[in-house]
Amino acid sequence: MNARTHETEGGLGTMDGSVTPVQETGLAAGPIVVEARNLRKVFTPQDGNPPVVAVEDVSFQIRRGEFTVLLGPSGCGKSTTLYMIGGFEKVSGGELMLHGKPVAGPGPDRGIVFQDFVLFPWRTVLGNIMFGLEMMRRFDRAEIRARAEHYVQHLGLAGFENAYPSTLSGGMKQRIAIARTLATEPEFMLMDEPFAALDAQTRDRLIADLSRIAGEQNTTFVFVTHDVREAIRLADRIIVFSPRPSRVVQSIPVTLPRPRDSYDPRLLEIDRELRSLIGRHASDDPAF
């Protein structure tokens, strides 16, 4: 057991659950910008089927500029939690605060990227990235183009500006979707399993690029995944959800320097500890 620390709901502790006075180090100590307290979400189907408790009792904090990963097995309510932060789903119980105020609905401060890249097939790569900026109605044509071109470079899309999405791979399409959202420079980037549908190599490259980008931006990232290795490569903090009924098992800082190599022994050690922690909150999901 190493001396790395994490926060539990009740305070700091080691991964075996014992309490330690050791303080966290190496994390961006920004103010708390999102706070969930006993958050709950119940879906009530219109067809008379019984209600679904998607989120049971979830509490966590997210700090400005941190890359936070919501990690948990399939169906534990990670996406629902992300959508509540985005203001796309209403909260059924508890509290969800953004800058100390209850989330009231969606806003331009929160950009979202889904697993299925929703691109406009009739627009080029540059046209797709310009779209979000056009919707903002804040910039003139020249500025929109300049900003979009910057994010073309930033996401490794140079040379493909005039290509149409249908001619590109899944990885390239997801790069466009990320560039389009980042170009509007939201305070929060909400990402719902954006790499889940990609092959291993493409995913690996996108994780590396996103990790680099996150290090360069002042954006607060909230990223949903059920992939332990992906979580460790990206996160400043991992919020581990239990299987349903969902709770936060632990909130764990990851202080490894970036870029992070999947085969770094320190990363493998965290991977081993995380899987052991998750194992204690048994799940039947083989991917988890």
Ligand X SMILES: Nc1ncnc2c1ncn2[C@@H]1O[C@H](COP(=O)(O)OP(=O)(O)OP(=O)(O)O)[C@@H](O)[C@H]1O
| Chain contacts with ligand X (rule: CB under 6 A) | 43, 45, 52, 54, 72, 74-80, 226
The smaller minimum CB distance to ligand X, of residues 74 and 124, is found at 74
Least separation, in Å, of the C-beta of 90 and ligand X? Answer: 11
- From CA 186, how far away is CA 219, in angstroms rounded? 7
Least separation, in Å, of the C-beta of 198 and ligand X? Answer: 15
Q: Which residues of 238-274 are buried (b: 16+ CB within 10 A; e: fewer)?
A: bbbbbbbebbbbbbbbbebeeebeeebebbeebbebb
Backbone phi and psi for residue 270, each to the nearest 5 degrees, phi listed first: -65, -40
Which amino acid is it at 89?
A: E
Orientation of helix 125-136 relative to helix 141-154, angle to 10°:
130
Which one, of 248, 244, 239, lies nearest residue 283 by Cα? 244
Least separation, in Å, of the C-beta of 46 and ligand X? Answer: 10
Residue listed under structure tokens 């790499």: 195
- From CA 221, how far away is CA 63, in angstroms rounded? 10
Q: Which residues of 175-201 are buried (b: 16+ CB within 10 A; e: fewer)?
A: bbbbbbbbbbbbbbbbbbbbbeebeee
Terminal Cα-to-Cα distance of the chain (whole angstroms): 22
The smaller minimum CB distance to ligand X, of residues 168 and 248, is found at 248
Least separation, in Å, of the C-beta of 226 and ligand X? Answer: 5
The smaller minimum CB distance to ligand X, of residues 37 and 90, is found at 90
The smaller minimum CB distance to ligand X, of residues 88 and 131, is found at 88
Least separation, in Å, of the C-beta of 227 and ligand X? Answer: 10
Q: Which two tokens stand for residue 271?
A: 């991977």
The smaller minimum CB distance to ligand X, of residues 11 and 105, is found at 105
Least separation, in Å, of the C-beta of 77 and ligand X? Answer: 4
Yes or no: say if 58 and 77 are a contact pair by the CB < 8 Å rule: yes
The smaller minimum CB distance to ligand X, of residues 71 and 129, is found at 71
The smaller minimum CB distance to ligand X, of residues 78 and 203, is found at 78
Least separation, in Å, of the C-beta of 252 and ligand X? Answer: 18
